[in-house]
Amino acid sequence: MIPTPTADLDQAKRDLTKHGFCVVTDALAPNELEAARQRLVEQSEAEIELGIATRDGAGPGVQGPNQRMWNLVNKGACFRDMITHPLVDELVGHVLGEHFILSTHSANIAKPGGVRMGLHTDQWWMPPPVPRGPATASTAARTSDITRNPTDAFVNHDAGLGISPPVVANTMWMLSDFSARNGSTEVVPGSHLSGAHPDPDNQDRYDIVQPEAPAGSLMVFDGRLWHGTGAHTGGPDRLGVLGTFCSPQFRQQENQTLALDPELWDTISDKLKARLGFKIWYAYGRIESPVGEVTPTPERIGELRPSHGQA
């Protein structure tokens, strides 16, 4: 039995733990949903008009009908509110703990004709557990050599070695109804506990499901869960806003501290600043002092010399 959309937060957490994902209904109030949908469509049309739109949905490296929009932090207060939403605190926090940061905030408008993305995990870069012993240094994959194309050690994971903990969690804000027909996210329930990555060349053998829910719902899933955009075989555009969060000791996909429009700095909350990565975490992310926070325009100390002895 797979999770069904629920308004019960405790049930959502149980679904997230067992199945690797949950769907919460009525996550956005009607006015919030309408504002977010309008802002997304306006942004989409403007980026197309200016010739800066990103297209995908036709296979790797091929321009397709779907449209991606990046760095939504700068593109509307409605998107910024999603990053600090109480449901994000509760559900992403259920996976990652109290402290986590935004890795990337983007939108995917899936349009008719878009092909399925294929299953993947968002912890593809996490080194797999290795056997203890002197041979490990010579047999383990060098961490910077890991690519999005999983090797046999990832696909056919040795369960006896254990699995990696979750260090990534995702949110999908559904700004339109999600269905299998319009490309609802494909997932393999429970795959987050396998320790393995899906085989990119043989995915028909997996028990893939596509959660369906009405507009205004929120899907949250463990970054280890096998997932991917489904094929859009007909009907209206599918509007989704994606948030990827990671533990604070990991590198973000989007360089949030550099990307944030400095003019927004005085208008956003301390909570959002921390979630974007401006808060120093155990001395990580600092400029000079190992405590406090950084700003979009930090004070940098360059070469100095004492003034004594100078004429």
Mean pLDDT check: name the lowest of 127-131, 154-158, 181-185.
127-131
Domain assignment present for residue 247? The answer is yes
pLDDT for position 236? 94
Domain assignment present for residue 225? The answer is yes
Domain assignment present for residue 273? The answer is no
Read off the CATH number of the domain in which 104 is found: 2.60.120.620
Domain limits for position 248: 9-125+149-258
Examine the pLDDT at 76 and tell me if it is beyond 90.
yes
* Total Cβ atoms within 10 A of residue 115: 19
**Number of domain units in the chain:** 1
Tokens of 248: 């604070």
Domain assignment present for residue 182? The answer is yes
pLDDT for position 128? 84
Domain assignment present for residue 294? The answer is no
| CB contact burial 221-255 (16+ within 10 A = b; e otherwise) | bbbbbbbbbbbbeeeebbbbbbbbbbbbebebbbe
The string of pLDDT tens digits covering residues 112-145 is 999 999 999 999 999 888 888 766 655 566 888 8
CB-based contact 124:143 (threshold 8 Å)? no
Average pLDDT, the chain: 93
Tokens of 132: 């203890």
Residues above pLDDT 90, as percent of the chain: 82
Whole-model pTM: value is: 0.94
Helix (H) or strand (E) holding 243: strand 238-246
pLDDT, mean of residues 139-168: 88
The string of pLDDT tens digits covering residues 18-55 is 999 999 999 999 999 999 999 999 999 999 999 999 99
The string of pLDDT tens digits covering residues 254-302 is 999 999 999 999 999 999 999 999 999 999 999 998 988 999 998 889 9
Pairwise CA distance, residues 66 & 63, whole Å: 8
Phi and psi angles of residue 287, each rounded to the nearest 5 degrees, phi first: -130, 115
Confidence of residue 310 (pLDDT cuts 50, 70, 90): low
pLDDT for position 136? 61
Tokens of 47: 């980026």
